Amino acid sequence: MKCPKCHSEAPSGSKFCLECGTKLPPPDAADTRPASISLGDKNVVGGDLVGTKQEVKVLGGSYTNITHSDETRKTRTCAISGRIAAVTEGHECPACKRWVVTDHFIKQQLRCTECNQKQHSQREREYEARLHDAYLDKRVDDGDRQQLKKLAAELGITEARAQELERPYRQTAESSSLDEAERIRLKQAEKLLYSDFKVDEAHPIIQRLYDAYTRRVQSIWQLYMTSLTEFDPDAALQLFESLDVDEPAVYLHRLEIKARQGPRGLDEAGKLIKLAQQKFPDAQDWSMMQAECHMEEFRQTRDPVWLEQADKCLRHDRMPDEWLWVKAKLDYLQNRDRDALNRLKEKLIPGTLPYYRVVRAQKYLQVGSMKLIMRGEEYPCRSGDVIGRHGTVATGVMSMINTLSRRHAQVVLRAGQWHIKVLATTNASTLNGKPIEAGRFYLLGLEQTVRLSTQCEFELRTTISH
């Protein structure tokens, strides 16, 4: 204990100072006097102040007072919502210098939602100005398309949003670019393909329209992709893979073809789905296609685990309308509702794309497997398999036949039925004893005899799916 007068130390419990005799305060008394600073001393008074005040009495000299306040007790009003919140629950926008709560602040962009919306609107107006220039001549060629794609990437506009912004320009251009006769032919082709599933009749009409407009008219381009996928899957795959076009629809058609090519094709389809998810994260079609691939795995292996995986892909709070045919197909394969596709078709409008998808699903559900039988041996065939010395089916036998070309013929699943197409022109080929021409598709029945050369004759047998 120190004496308050002479500041000398006094033994504990003393009542008076031994040096000056001053009466000492009781040991339990609280010191309520303000802190004092001696004359001539320079002191730093600091501390953490949490909702309190500290009174400092200066007796002389100079001092620096450092105060740390509790920020969690301060509040501010959000400039957007008007909500009063703690300052730690919000941010100051570097763009507009306003304070907003965290819900109205985008950390990745370092700006509030209003500033972000203004910036997006400005970027979209810039993109729409370029769209207006591109559609002045009512056509968008490959050069315009590349520039639009580059500008969208620079402005941070997603592929889905870019297509949405372009839709009204495209519809206006399409309505004015086709003459009356072409519009009639387009409607006729849509009915043949989407309603009647007559691919061989619809495709020549669509091909002529596509040759005239290529990808400049979106409705013709979409119809052409759908038609070519069924008419000649191999040619469609080559076209889609050669084009420098990043569209979700292109990936969807590539996936449809791959899914029909057996285990090898399904493996490639899985990789393609992952790539599409990275390129188009906003699109919702990839879970649908994943389910479609799983159902095709079931059709080839009959393992019910694939149907369980397909069911997981289709578990959503609200099933999108464009997925209804996939769900109906799953119900059919699970034997839960064998009439699901028929009932769904009755609710749809014939000649539309949703109606076509149901009709196509029914057609392919009836397709059975195919086998090539030669010299007493059976070889399973997949869509796209090539018969020849460097083919993909019965390779051990075919590689020894010198009269065969490397790629002599091909079996293809098209328009929901098995076909054969001769690729080589060196030999006279026959189907059930009748000559067949190279480059044309020929429908296969349950049992067919094919002769590709004097040394190569075999049977192709198909089954009916159950």
Question: What is the per-residue pLDDT across 97-141, written as a single tens digit (0 to 9) for each?
Answer: 899 998 888 887 788 888 877 877 788 888 888 888 887 776 677
Supply the pLDDT for residue 31.
47
SS (H, E, C) 67-96: EECCHHHCEEECCCCCCEEEHHHEEECCCC
H or E segment and range at residue 176: helix 159-177
Residue 375, SS3 per DSSP: coil
Separation of first and last alpha carbons in the chain: 102
Domains of the chain with bracketed CATH: 70-177 (no CATH), 367-464 (2.60.200.20)
Q: Which long-range contacts (CB under 8 A, 24 or more apart) does 210-218 make?
A: 212/182, 213/177, 215/142, 215/145, 215/245, 216/139, 216/140, 216/141, 216/173, 216/177, 217/173, 217/174, 217/177, 217/178, 218/170, 218/174
Q: Which of 223, 221, 225 is nearest to 190 (CA)?
A: 223
Residue 16, SS3 per DSSP: strand
DSSP state of 22: P
DSSP state of 42: E
Cα–Cα dist 239/253, whole Å: 11
Low-confidence ranges of the chain (pLDDT < 50): 29-60
Supply the pLDDT for residue 126.
86
Supply the pLDDT for residue 458.
95
Residue 46 dihedral angles phi and psi, to the nearest 5°: -140, 170
**Count of CB atoms within 10 A of residue 252's CB?**
21
Supply the pLDDT for residue 235.
93
Supply the pLDDT for residue 247.
82
Cβ-count burial of 414 within 10 angstroms (0-12 exposed, 13-18 middle, 19+ buried)? buried
Q: Which of 207, 245, 246 is nearest to 226 (CA)?
A: 207
Give 200-253 pLDDT, tens digit per residue.
999 999 999 999 888 878 889 999 999 999 999 999 999 998 887 778 889 999
Q: Structure tokens of 124?
A: 């979209």
Residue 368 dihedral angles phi and psi, to the nearest 5°: -100, -170
Q: Structure tokens of 236?
A: 């469609």
Cα–Cα dist 444/385, whole Å: 15
Cα–Cα dist 313/276, whole Å: 16
Q: Which of 447, 452, 443 is nearest to 464 (CA)?
A: 447
Supply the pLDDT for residue 62.
54
Cα–Cα dist 31/28, whole Å: 9
Cα–Cα dist 195/170, whole Å: 25
Place of tokens 């509030």: 112
Cβ-count burial of 130 within 10 angstroms (0-12 exposed, 13-18 middle, 19+ buried)? middle
Supply the pLDDT for residue 42.
44
**Count of CB atoms within 10 A of residue 27's CB?**
10
Cα–Cα dist 113/98, whole Å: 11
Supply the pLDDT for residue 41.
43
Beta-sheet strands, E only, within 72-175: 75-77, 84-86, 90-92, 99-101, 105-106, 111-112
Residue 369, SS3 per DSSP: strand
